[in-house]
Amino acid sequence: MNQQPLLPLADYQRIYQVIYSVLEASGIAVTHRACIFFAAVGASILRKYHDLPATISAGCMALMVDEQRANVVIYGRDENDVFVNDERAFHAWVECDGWLIDFMAPIMGVALRKDGVEWRVPRRMLQKRLIDRKVSLGEIQHVGEFFASHDHAITESLLDGQSVQFLDLMNACMAWYRRPPKALKKIALADSQGPTKKLTLCAPSIDGVW
């Protein structure tokens, strides 16, 4: 039985666009490596603006992106069909009301290309019911099927280690965001190295749903 995702596409897309655009405007962030930032801001926005009990998760995750070629994107490491993760091999996402929400999913293909993996991965929204996750990599057989395992220690360590700049950019996202269909505020991002930058949405559009 199909079930509507927790967030409408318009809301998901607005959150993803705001986070992406602030990171790009900062001039200091590596957007395609900023999964913990996407998760932290996404969870905060859901709590403040959507009244949802969102939390941040980090650990291992895998997603089938091409069934014909059996291409599975793996965050973490697969060791003999067992996932492991550490602070060098992990992914971060949001969990809320039994759903996994990955606000970074639309630029998954960008991250792969930066790593030299030339897979054609569409820019899609990723919201999945946690009860539908597979228990091992071997069970992932069809496009959109996924595995996720939350590591509490890694999550806490990653969040504790964030910089003042991380918090400043997070605050900019929170100040700029408005829930659709409201228009975004007109604000600028302060830059200690130069003039302030007026924030504008610049994220690639989403073209589907996983």
Q: Helix 164-176 to helix 9-26 angle, to the nearest 10 degrees?
A: 140
Q: Is-above-0.85 flag for pTM?
A: yes
8 A C-beta contact, residue 96 and residue 5:
no
Q: What is the pLDDT of residues 6-57, one digit of tens each?
A: 999 999 999 999 999 999 999 888 999 999 999 999 999 999 999 999 999 9
What is the sign, positive or negative, of the torsion defined by CA atoms of 40, 150, 75, 100?
negative
Ranges 18-27, 48-57, 75-84, 110-119: which has the least confidence: 75-84
Q: How far are the Cα atoms of 39, 90, 156, 166 from residue 159, in angstroms, in the given order?
A: 10, 13, 5, 10
Please report the pLDDT score of residue 76 as a whole number: 83
Higher pLDDT, 137 or 9: 9
Please report the pLDDT score of residue 194 as a whole number: 60
> CA triplet 143, 144, 149: central angle to 5 degrees?
125
Give the number of other CB atoms < 10 A from CB of residue 189.
18
8 A C-beta contact, residue 72 and residue 121:
no
Please report the pLDDT score of residue 195 as a whole number: 67
Please report the pLDDT score of residue 1 as a whole number: 46
Mean pLDDT of the region 108-137: 94
Q: Where are the domains of the chain?
A: 9-204
What percentage of residues in the chain have a pLDDT greater than 90?
79
Q: What is the pLDDT of residues 168-207, one digit of tens each?
A: 999 999 999 999 999 998 999 876 566 688 999 999 999 9
Mean pLDDT of the chain: 92
CATH architecture of the domain with range 9-204: Roll (3.10)
Dihedral angle, C-alpha 144, 150, 154, 159, nearest 10 °: 80
